[in-house]
Chain A
């Protein structure tokens, strides 16, 4: 049975421009709110079909009532919790996989960074120094924070200042060991060939990102729009964010590597 909405708003040309602008602003705000609700429900491990149903129900109510989402439903995070939808059983093997792939990527990033300096200077050998081993240990410790940082970044995506502060913090932690290497005593523990180590580190850095991208594309639990069998297309912002989070280490590694070559003295 088809339904019609007696409350559909008249968008004819006779409507004043101010009202049309207000209506467009409301629709934009509501679309952003629905995106936030999708993310909050995903972070709560609600199955894709239930997310699709909850988001479509909220969209339907907003279209019928002509209300602003924030006024009618409150904050997306609180509403997602209040819905109290059943969640997927916690998959410990999936959590381990995330930690493992993130760990491999971080180690690849760290080691690649260390090979950049000797390679930029035309040196075939990589002198493994004490501070490098310390940095690697610190990196592995930071690794435990990654699963916690991703939800924070997703929730803060509409607050550029917070995202900027987090990014600045991560960058500071990443660059500090490199900067310290310029001034610190250089106690060499042993030496290894730089180029094969750089290639190996590059593979370690790329492999997890490619693996995660493939897994995302397979979409093991897509969000299904009610009444259809197809997943709706996410907004461009959300899609860019998901891809960005996955490839952020590769981009960071590539930029650092290129900058080391570009800024190396006498190059």
Chain B
């Protein structure tokens, strides 16, 4: 676990990709996504941070929501990646790896000589 919370702007940049990745194994619901991210070391993810992202992904067609009935009410909304979402996830992972390599190289070697 990280010693202190990650800076908010790092979290803003990385969270949407990480939420998409959490959905890759199969359909899951809001609190399970937040718990999985916390277990992975991202810290506590609030509902007010998570659901606007999920709403945006749903509007973009990357995920689809389905309500599954519970014992005494509407139950839970399960989110699943769509085909477009899987393509987006693959693209974003490739881009992020390039980006993180660029950042890592810069931090190790300093500015490139012109």
Minimal beta-carbon separation of B56 from chain A (angstroms):
7
Question: Chain A: residues with CB nearer than 8 A to chain B?
Answer: 1-5, 7, 53-54, 56-58, 60-62, 64-65, 67, 71-74, 79, 82-86, 225-228
Q: Which residues of B27-83 have CB atoms within 8 Å of chain A's CB atoms?
A: 29-31, 34, 46-48, 50-52, 55-56, 59, 65, 67-71, 73-77
Q: With CB as the reference atom, state the residue of chain B lying closest to A74.
A: B48
B77 x A3 contact (CB < 8 A): no
Known: A2-B69, A226-B77. A83 touches B55 (CB 8 A): yes
A227 is contacted by which of B52, B56, B59, B75 (Cβ under 8 Å)?
Answer: B75
- 23 CB < 8 A contacts A-B: A1-B68, A2-B75, A3-B69, A3-B70, A7-B31, A56-B67, A56-B77, A57-B51, A60-B30, A61-B51, A64-B30, A65-B47, A72-B46, A73-B46, A73-B48, A74-B46, A82-B52, A83-B52, A84-B55, A84-B56, A226-B77, A227-B69, A228-B74
What is the bound-complex CA distance between A62 and B74, given in angstroms? 14
List, in ascending order, chain B residues with CB within 8 A of A73's CB: 46-48, 51
Q: With CB as the reference atom, state the residue of chain A lying closest to B32.
A: A64
What is the bound-complex CA distance between A259 and B90, given in angstroms? 74
Q: With CB as the reference atom, state the residue of chain A lying closest to B65.
A: A53
What is the bound-complex CA distance between A74 and B47, given in angstroms? 9
List, in ascending order, chain A residues with CB within 8 A of B52's CB: 79, 82-84
What is the bound-complex CA distance between A83 and B59, given in angstroms? 11
What is the bound-complex CA distance between A64 and B32, given in angstroms? 9
List, in ascending order, chain A residues with CB within 8 A of B65's CB: 53
Minimal beta-carbon separation of B81 from chain A (angstroms):
18
What is the bound-complex CA distance between A2 and B76, given in angstroms? 9
List, in ascending order, chain A residues with CB within 8 A of B74's CB: 56, 60, 225-228
Contact flags (1/0) for B97-113 with A, using CB distance below 8 Å? 00000000000000000
List, in ascending order, chain A residues with CB within 8 A of B77's CB: 53, 56-57, 60, 226
List, in ascending order, chain B residues with CB within 8 A of A2's CB: 68-71, 75
B48 x A64 contact (CB < 8 A): no
B67 x A227 contact (CB < 8 A): yes
For the complex of A and B, list the 6 residue pairs with the smallest distance between their C-beta atoms, beginning with the closest. Answer: A64-B31, A73-B48, A226-B67, A61-B47, A72-B47, A227-B74
What is the bound-complex CA distance between A140 and B59, given in angstroms? 43
Minimal beta-carbon separation of A205 from chain B (angstroms):
42
Known: A83-B55, A84-B55. A5 touches B48 (CB 8 A): no
Q: With CB as the reference atom, state the residue of chain A lying closest to B54.
A: A57
B76 x A3 contact (CB < 8 A): yes
A72 x B48 contact (CB < 8 A): yes
Known A54-B51, A65-B34, A82-B48; further 13 A-B contacts with Cβ < 8 A = A2-B69, A3-B69, A5-B70, A54-B55, A60-B75, A61-B31, A64-B30, A65-B31, A65-B47, A72-B46, A74-B48, A83-B52, A227-B69
What is the bound-complex CA distance between A227 and B69, given in angstroms? 7
Looking at A3, A54, A71, A74, which has the most chain B CB atoms within 10 Å of its CB? A3
What is the bound-complex CA distance between A228 and B71, given in angstroms? 14
What is the bound-complex CA distance between A51 and B30, given in angstroms? 17
Minimal beta-carbon separation of A41 from chain B (angstroms):
12
What is the bound-complex CA distance between A83 and B15, given in angstroms? 16
Minimal beta-carbon separation of A61 from chain B (angstroms):
4
Known: A1-B68, A4-B70. A85 touches B55 (CB 8 A): yes
B48 x A79 contact (CB < 8 A): yes
Looking at A57, A74, A84, A86, which has the most chain B CB atoms within 10 Å of its CB? A57
